[in-house]
Structure 1
Amino acid sequence: MLNVTITPHLEFLNADKAGQKLFVMLKLRPNAEVSASRPSTTFSFVIDTSGSMYEVLEGEETIPTGNSYFLDGKQYTQVTGGKTKIDQVIESLERLVSSGQADSRDRIALVRFDDSASVLLPLTASTDTASLKNAIGQLRNFSGGTRMALGMEEALNILKNCDLSSRRTLIFTDGQTFDESDCRDLATQFAEAGIPITALGVGEYNEDLLLYLSDRTGGRVFNVVETQTHTGTTDIPISELPNTIFEEVQQAQSEVINNLKLNISTVKGVKLARISRVYPDSAEIALDKKPYLIGSAIANDDTVFMLEFDLESHSQAKVRIAQLGLTYDIPGQQRRGELPPQNLVLQFVAGHGGSAQTNPEVMGYVQQRNISGIVDRAANLADQNPEQAAELLETARRLTVKIGNDAMVESLNLGIEEVRKTRKLSSGTRKTVKMGAKGKTVKMSNDSELGLSEDQIRNLTGS
Structure 2
Amino acid sequence: MLNIAITPHREFLPADSDEQKLFLMLKLRPTKQVANTRPPTNIAFVIDTSGSMYSVVAGEPQPTDQVVQMDGQQWRVATGGKTKIDIVIESLRSLLHSGKLDANDRISIIQFDDQATTLISATPATEVAAIDAAILRLKSFSGGTRMGLGLKQALHALDDHSMASRRALVFTDGQTVDEDLCDELAKQFSIANIPMIALGVGEFNEDLLNRLSDVTGGKPFHVVPGTATGTAVSILDFPNTIVSEIGLVQQEVITNLALTVKTVKGVALTRVLRAYPSQAEFSLDQDPHSIGNVLAHDETVFILEFTIASRTASRIRIAQLGLTYDVPGENRRGELDLQNVVVQFVAGQELAVQVDQEVMGYVQQCNIAQVITEATRIAEQDPHRAEELLESARRMTKRLGNTEMTDSLTSAQDELRKTRRISSATRKTIKMGSKSKTVKMGQDINDELSEAEIRQASGT
TM range (shorter): over 0.9
- Matched residue type, 2:403: D
Please state if 1:265 is matched with 2:262: yes
Q: 1:355: Cα distance to partner?
A: 5.1
Compared CA separation, residues 52 and 458, structure 1 to 2 (3 A):
farther
Q: 1:462: Cα distance to partner?
A: 8.9
The match for 2:85 is 86
Instruction: Please tell me whether the aligned partners of residues 402 and 450 of structure 1 are also in contact (alpha carbons under 8 angstroms).
Output: yes
Q: 1:453: Cα distance to partner?
A: 3.6
More deviation in 283-292 or 298-307?
283-292
The match for 2:284 is 287
Instruction: Please tell me whether the aligned partners of residues 326 and 333 of structure 2 are also in contact (alpha carbons under 8 angstroms).
Output: yes
Please state if 1:127 is matched with 2:126: yes
Of 386, 392, 395 in structure 1, the residue corresponding to residue 392 of structure 2 is 395
Of 313, 317, 320 in structure 1, the residue corresponding to residue 314 of structure 2 is 317
The match for 1:61 is 60
Compared CA separation, residues 398 and 147, structure 1 to 2 (3 A):
same
- Matched residue type, 2:145: T
Please state if 1:413 is matched with 2:407: no
- TM-score, with length taken from structure 1: 0.94
Compared CA separation, residues 215 and 71, structure 1 to 2 (3 A):
farther
Q: 1:276: Cα distance to partner?
A: 1.0
Q: 1:240: Cα distance to partner?
A: 0.7
Helix, strand or coil: the match of 2:231?
Answer: coil
Deviation per CA, 1:236-290: give whole Å up to 9, x if none: 1111111111011111100001111111011011111111111111111111221
Compared CA separation, residues 347 and 45, structure 1 to 2 (3 A):
same
* C-alpha distance in structure 2 between counterparts of 1:128 and 1:346, whole Å: 56
* C-alpha distance in structure 2 between counterparts of 1:18 and 1:12, whole Å: 14
The match for 1:49 is 49
Please state if 1:213 is matched with 2:209: no
Helix, strand or coil: the match of 1:99?
Answer: coil
Deviation per CA, 1:61-89: give whole Å up to 9, x if none: 33589xxx998799999965311111001
* C-alpha distance in structure 2 between counterparts of 1:8 and 1:122, whole Å: 45
Q: 1:318: Cα distance to partner?
A: 0.6
Instruction: Please tell me whether the aligned partners of residues 364 and 449 of structure 1 are also in contact (alpha carbons under 8 angstroms).
Output: no
Q: 1:162: Cα distance to partner?
A: 3.6
Helix, strand or coil: the match of 1:82?
Answer: strand
* C-alpha distance in structure 1 between counterparts of 2:456 and 2:70, whole Å: 46
Deviation per CA, 1:308-342: give whole Å up to 9, x if none: 11110110111100000111111111111111110
Superposition pairs for residues 331-410 of structure 1, below 5 Å? 331-353=328-350, 356-410=353-407
Compared CA separation, residues 462 and 269, structure 1 to 2 (3 A):
closer
* C-alpha distance in structure 2 between counterparts of 1:196 and 1:372, whole Å: 19
- Matched residue type, 2:312: S
Compared CA separation, residues 85 and 458, structure 1 to 2 (3 A):
farther
RMSD: 2.3
The match for 1:99 is 98
Instruction: Please tell me whether the aligned partners of residues 59 and 82 of structure 2 are also in contact (alpha carbons under 8 angstroms).
Output: no
Instruction: Please tell me whether the aligned partners of residues 231 and 437 of structure 2 are also in contact (alpha carbons under 8 angstroms).
Output: no
Instruction: Please tell me whether the aligned partners of residues 387 and 413 of structure 2 are also in contact (alpha carbons under 8 angstroms).
Output: yes
Instruction: Please tell me whether the aligned partners of residues 115 and 144 of structure 1 are also in contact (alpha carbons under 8 angstroms).
Output: yes
Compared CA separation, residues 242 and 162, structure 1 to 2 (3 A):
farther
Helix, strand or coil: the match of 2:33?
Answer: helix
Helix, strand or coil: the match of 2:325?
Answer: strand
Q: 1:414: Cα distance to partner?
A: 1.1
* Runs of at least 5 residues in structure 1 that lack an aligned partner in the other structure: none
The match for 2:188 is 189
Percent sequence identity is 54
The match for 2:426 is 429
- Matched residue type, 1:267: V
Instruction: Please tell me whether the aligned partners of residues 46 and 170 of structure 2 are also in contact (alpha carbons under 8 angstroms).
Output: yes
Compared CA separation, residues 6 and 232, structure 1 to 2 (3 A):
same
* C-alpha distance in structure 1 between counterparts of 2:279 and 2:198, whole Å: 14
The match for 2:138 is 139
- Matched residue type, 1:44: A
Q: 1:460: Cα distance to partner?
A: 7.5
Helix, strand or coil: the match of 1:417?
Answer: helix
* C-alpha distance in structure 1 between counterparts of 2:73 and 2:431, whole Å: 24
Please state if 1:35 is matched with 2:32: no
The match for 1:224 is 223
More deviation in 94-103 or 283-292?
283-292
Please state if 1:301 is matched with 2:298: yes
Please state if 1:233 is matched with 2:223: no
Please state if 1:254 is matched with 2:255: no
Q: 1:90: Cα distance to partner?
A: 0.5
Instruction: Please tell me whether the aligned partners of residues 56 and 79 of structure 1 are also in contact (alpha carbons under 8 angstroms).
Output: no
Instruction: Please tell me whether the aligned partners of residues 224 and 232 of structure 2 are also in contact (alpha carbons under 8 angstroms).
Output: yes
Please state if 1:114 is matched with 2:118: no
Deviation per CA, 1:337-380: give whole Å up to 9, x if none: 11111000001111224554201111111111111111111111
Helix, strand or coil: the match of 1:411?
Answer: helix
Compared CA separation, residues 243 and 342, structure 1 to 2 (3 A):
same
Compared CA separation, residues 399 and 54, structure 1 to 2 (3 A):
same
* C-alpha distance in structure 1 between counterparts of 2:458 and 2:199, whole Å: 27
* C-alpha distance in structure 2 between counterparts of 1:150 and 1:358, whole Å: 48
* C-alpha distance in structure 1 between counterparts of 2:436 and 2:193, whole Å: 21
Aligned positions, number: 457
- Matched residue type, 1:114: D
More deviation in 431-440 or 199-208?
431-440
The match for 2:166 is 167
Compared CA separation, residues 84 and 461, structure 1 to 2 (3 A):
farther
Q: 1:458: Cα distance to partner?
A: 6.0
* C-alpha distance in structure 1 between counterparts of 2:191 and 2:154, whole Å: 14
Q: 1:17: Cα distance to partner?
A: 2.1
Compared CA separation, residues 70 and 19, structure 1 to 2 (3 A):
farther
